Amino acid sequence: MRHTWFMDESHVQWIGDDRRFEDGRFLNGAREGCWSFWYLDGLFDSGRSGTYERDRKIESAPSPLGDFGRGEEIEGRAPRR
């Protein structure tokens, strides 16, 4: 995994070269605002994703578009090779 991270700016953690693992913003070293997380297989992690305030989740993220069961493309998911 590789990281792009700044103490009071945006943060993106990648798996390999093409899939995000987490994406959000830090403020004073804590998660702040909208954060999105993905599982290692590339599926959106709605349980961890949401709005954060001072590193605490205060609101859940809306589910991505598409039906997981039918294998439709999920917003934020990198295409598989």
How does pLDDT run across 28-38, given as a tens digit for each residue?
889 999 999 99
pLDDT tens digits for 20-70? 899 999 998 899 999 999 998 888 999 999 999 999 999 997 766 543 443
pLDDT at 2 over 90: no
What is the rounded distance in angstroms from the CA atom of residue 2 to the CA atom of residue 40? 13
pTM score, whole prediction: 0.66
What is the rounded distance in angstroms from the CA atom of residue 1 to the CA atom of residue 64? 24
Q: What is the pLDDT of residue 69?
A: 40
Residue 77 in any domain: the answer is no
Residue 34 in any domain: the answer is yes
Residue 72 in any domain: the answer is no
What is the rounded distance in angstroms from the CA atom of residue 42 to the CA atom of residue 21? 8
Residue 81 in any domain: the answer is no
3-class secondary-structure state, position 81: coil
Count of structural domains within the chain:
1
What range does the domain containing 46 cover? 2-61
Q: What is the pLDDT of residue 20?
A: 87
